[in-house]
Structure 1
Amino acid sequence: MAELAVDKHVKYILAVEKNKDSFESVVMDHLRMNGAYWGLTALDLLGKLDSVNVDEVISWILKCQHESGGFSGNIGHDPHILYTLSAVQVLALFNKLDVLDIDKVATYITGLQNEDGSFSGDMWGEVDTRFSYIAICCLSILCCLDKINVEKAVSYILSCKNLDGGFGCTPGGDFLLCGSSCSYGISALC
């Protein structure tokens, strides 16, 4: 069995971040926070997290934070619960959660919990069980689970269970084979 070409992987991950003029980079600009999380996690798994400038990454992340406390996918975009989790995960990866106003971030997330226990992804109100996962994971990392109604959140998630045992995006929704939460991965931080 061949060895993993660590240096080539590191070179590729770092090159993706530097290549901001390509078509792919431009159309994915709004997802950069997620890309940062996945790229930095890969570097960490490869033992090469030190190949990035931590201060530059943190500075960029903080520029993506809105007055609401939530984070956007990149500077100049709207905040969303998904990008907020990725920002918190990256800061946790660097052991830099102390740069956050944790109450402000937690208030943003708790403000997205609906009366039925579900979570909206952003101010536009889309509801999906993946947002429940994201909210719970993010608040868990920040040690702020007590700021939401966990009982209602669990009840809502259970209401999304289907006859086949899978969970839909909303009550009565179909199970997705590689469902919503799967596409966001389960962080070792949660």
Structure 2
Amino acid sequence: MEASDKSGDSQDIPFTPEKHTSYLLALDKSLDSDAIGHYTNEHLKLPGAYWCIGSLKLLNALTEERKKEITLFIKGCQQECGGFGGNVKHDPHVVTTLYALLILSMFDEVDAIDKDRMATFIASHQKEDGSFKGDYAGEVDTRFSYSALSCLKLLNRLDLINQEKARDFILSCLNIDGAFGGVPGAESHAAYTFCSIGALKILGDEDLIDRDKLGSWLAKRQTIQGGFNGRPEKLPDVCYSWWILSTCFMIDRQDWIDFKALKEYVMRCSDVESGGISDRPGNEVDVFHTFFGLTALSMMDQYGLEKIDHVYAIPVSTIKRHFPHVYQ
């Protein structure tokens, strides 16, 4: 099936949570090492665990069967510096450190790791211009700013960094079209725009941008197929259902999106027989797109899914339980 194919009545496509659950639970038994975000891929084990566990949480299907095993694995990914790698003995990174915190919170095991060392590690990666490097190698972009700020906000330790400089770096990535690139001067992109607006939201500075201009750019990412693309003239992809819709919620422009068309696109990407969600209709499903497809359905209040927070990408109930200061 081509990505542009709208044949068939997508309203008749059933939502099969039990199939999605079975697919997710079987991920770590698969031998397909080429699958995107595969649960046991060497360098993606911790990120893959986040996408898988997050999906199960949204489906109200996360059990404690492997809680101890997974918690011990995550603890094993924390290095002496306080940061977490994508797997045991991997170099620590700001993004995987955030993933570790999110997974532990969904398992109600936030106190299983040294949060002070975690916060110190994150803060140590802020550079003089306010940006954050991802790891020792020094790469900088707004993904790392968002991950760092999200982690520190959840830990209630934003006081460890220069928040004004962090804000100024994000604003330096703003383009004339109202959206953001990953670094100053880079092309606007939906994922980097999410990271930038999420960072500003965390800092309480989201009113510094033109909501209507950005809202217009975001709304124009919705294609005739119903799904979003990440940049103009690109094909739609389920993952942008999260990056764009969540950003619209953050700037209160979600009403500018056709929810019905987006829902139908996600459903056309769903495998109703074996479970999972793909990037485009007819393509192979994977855990990455399954998670982001479910987050979109959650934000649109579909199928009784657990409600996800559109800034922090974990359920609202999890934030209320472990990070209540976020909503105060």
TM score, norm. by length of structure 2: 0.54
Show the counterpart of 1:153: 166
Show the counterpart of 1:75: 88
Show the counterpart of 1:46: 59
Q: Which protein, 1 or 2, shows the higher relative CO under an 8 Å CA cutoff with sep ≥ 6?
A: 2
- Calculate the aligned-residue CA RMSD, in Å: 2.2
Show the counterpart of 1:37: 50
Q: Aligned partners of 1:7, 1:70: CA distance in 2, in Å?
A: 35
Show the counterpart of 1:12: 23
Identity of aligned residues (%): 42
Does 44-53 or 180-189 show the bigger shift?
180-189
Could you tell me which runs of 5 or more consecutive residues in structure 2 were left unpaired when the two chains were aligned: 1-11, 196-242, 245-291, 293-309, 320-325
Q: Aligned partners of 1:78, 1:133: CA distance in 2, in Å?
A: 20
Does 172-181 or 29-38 show the bigger shift?
172-181
Show the counterpart of 1:118: 131
Q: How many aligned positions are there?
A: 189
Of 54, 64, 74, the match for 1:61: 74
Give the partner amino acid of 1:10.
T
Say whether residues 1:23 and 2:33 are aligned partners: yes
Could you tell me which runs of 5 or more consecutive residues in structure 1 were left unpaired when the two chains were aligned: none
Q: Deviations over 1:33-55 (max 9, x none)?
A: 11111110110111111164111
- Which of structures 1 and 2 has the bigger CA Rg? 2
Q: Which has the higher helix share?
A: 1
Show the counterpart of 2:144: 131
Structure 1 segments of 4 or more deviating over 6 A? none
* Change in CA separation of 1:31 and 1:99 when aligned onto 2, cut-off 3 Å: same
